[in-house]
Structures are given as structure tokens and as C-alpha cells.
Amino acid sequence: MAPAVVTDSIACLPREVVERYAIRIVPVNVLFEGRVYREWVDLTPSLAYEMLKKNPEAFATSPPSPQEFLEAFREVGQRSREILCITISSRLSTLYNMAAVASQMLEKELPGIKIEVVDSQTAAGGHGLIAWLMAQRGERGASLPEMVRMAEEMKEGVHVFVALETLRHVYRTGRIPKVASTLGSLLPVKPMLSIREGLVHFLGVARTKEKALKRFLDLMEERVGQGPAWAIISHAACPEEAERFRGMVISRFHGVEAHISEFSPIMGYATGPGTLALAFYSERA
């Protein structure tokens, strides 16, 4: 049996990929008006964005606990004696630590199971890509040690670019003051971010969303040329824009496999509706 792959819902994995490779998703918890929801279990990202729009002050998120990771590991352990867990960057979230604690608990509980937890050093579709391709490699016969090695090597080749509608929501991350994000939102530009070396970085601004996406395509071409690549396009409540952008990616790059997913609410909470993200990987990148 191929090693089982586990990741968190912040990975923004498309449902068709999750189902095709039986990837176990550990959901992020969303707290709204006194109730706890689990993303993709009893709450879709679309509904979460409606909640955020309705009452942003009553909306909050919290990471899965070690117990929730343990439950996921137990579940997949029934079909595979080897487990690979890919998490969001430990520099952005505590999820890696939660998963690592759960893996130690599982090894004591079920000594026959081998489990590895890998810090992706990226986020959103970035670590989603790693989980996706590792599940694919496992299906093709890769062993758990080989998958861990490949996942570590992939980190350098995964790129994530994010286009925001506004800076207005970014203060929620605690990284910039509210007054700065408010002033920034008054400028007629679209902020661009990148995720690398485990952290979010300011990439620059574009006058329009279209120009921001064109910039992402240029950056992608610099890194992958026209060779085969894998991509995840994530959106926060703007599916039509995501579909158009996917068409741009497919028409520009030969042999690219591109999927659309909804941006996890824990990311969308900090970036706001209208956000579009491009994550891609190529062995050349």
C-alpha cells in the first residue's frame, strides 16, 4: 500500500485532487458568532466568506489541535502503515508543531506505523502542490523515505504569488498597523505578495489586477520556461476571475496541469475577498 498523505486545509487543494489521491485533509477551525465550524467538514470556503462579509468582527480562526491531527493519522493508518504529513510553514503557523506532537503520540500508540512530518516552508497552494505531487509519487511506487527526500527538494522549486484587491484586511495578521493598511487601501493599486523561505514578502504593486496576473505569468515563465509544470490557482470569492486566469496559464504554458481551488478562509481572512493566488512547480523551477 502506498504511503498515505495528510495535509491541512490551508493547502487549498482542489477537491478533485484530494479525492483522486485520497489525501486526508485536517481542517482549520472557524469560529463565528459563538459556534465552531471545521473547514470542508461542516463549512465550505464560500460560506465562510459570506460569514466574514456579514460580520467580520465575529469571525476568527484557530489551528487544528494535536488531537485532531492524531485522529487523521489514526484514520489513514487503517489503510497504510506509512504516513507523510505536509504542513504550512512553521514560520507562519503552529500547525507543524501540532502535527509533530500528534506524530509522537501516534508512534507510542501504534509502534508499527512509520510517520514523517515535513515543514513545507510555504503556504496555501504551495504546500498543496507538495502534498499533491507526493501522493502522486507514492501511487507510482515511491517509498516513504523517497517521498520525504523529494518533498524536501521540492521546497526550492515551489513558488507562490498573491494578488490582493486591497491592503485593508492585512492588518489582521498583525504584520502591519491598521492605519497603514487603511491608508494603503486608498491607493489605486493592487498589492502583490510572494511566499518564500517560509514567510510572506511584499512583491510590489500593479495598477490593475490584470497587470498583477500578467506579472505572475512572466515570473512563472522565467522559472519554468515552456516545460511541464503543475499549478494551483486559488481565489477568495472570485471564481470567474480564477477561471479566466486558469485559461491564461494553460494558453501560455505547454504541458501545465492547472487546477482551481478556493482560498482557505484562514488565508482569506487576512487578505480579503477578491484575492487571487498562483502556486506552481516545475522540476526546472
Write out pLDDT tens, residues 43-69. 888 888 888 888 888 888 888 999 999
Mind giving me the DSSP string for 61-130? EEPPPHHHHHHHHHHHHTT-SEEEEEES-TTT-SHHHHHHHHHHHHHHH-TT-EEEEEE-SS-THHHHHH
- Work out the angle between the directed axes of helices 239-252 and 209-224 (0-180°, nearest 10): 40
The residue range of the domain holding 150 is: 4-155
CATH code: domain of residue 52? 3.40.50.10170
- What is the pLDDT at residue 80? 96
The DSSP string of 115-132 is EEEEE-SS-THHHHHHHH
Report the alpha-carbon distance of residue 3 to residue 83 in Å, rounded: 5
Asked if 199 and 273 sit in the same domain, the reply is yes
Residue 138 and residue 90 in one domain: yes
Please name the amino acid found at residue 50.
E
**215 and 129 share one domain:** no
C-alpha cell at 278: 498562483
- pLDDT tens per residue across span 256-280: 999 999 988 877 777 778 899 999 9
Query: In this predicted model, what pLDDT tens digit does every residue of 167-226 receive, in sequence order?
Result: 665 655 555 545 344 445 556 778 899 999 999 888 988 999 999 999 999 999 999 886
Residue-wise pLDDT tens digits, 243-254? 999 999 999 998
Residue 167: predicted pLDDT: 67
What is the H or E stretch that residue 279 is in? strand 276-281
Note the pLDDT of residue 141: 97
Residue-wise pLDDT tens digits, 206-221: 999 999 999 999 999 9
Q: Identify the three-state secondary structure at position 265.
A: helix
Shared domain check, 179 and 142: no
Q: Name the domain boundary from 107, 136, 155.
A: 155
Is this model's pTM higher than 0.85 or not? yes
> Which one of 155, 177, 211 terminates a domain?
155
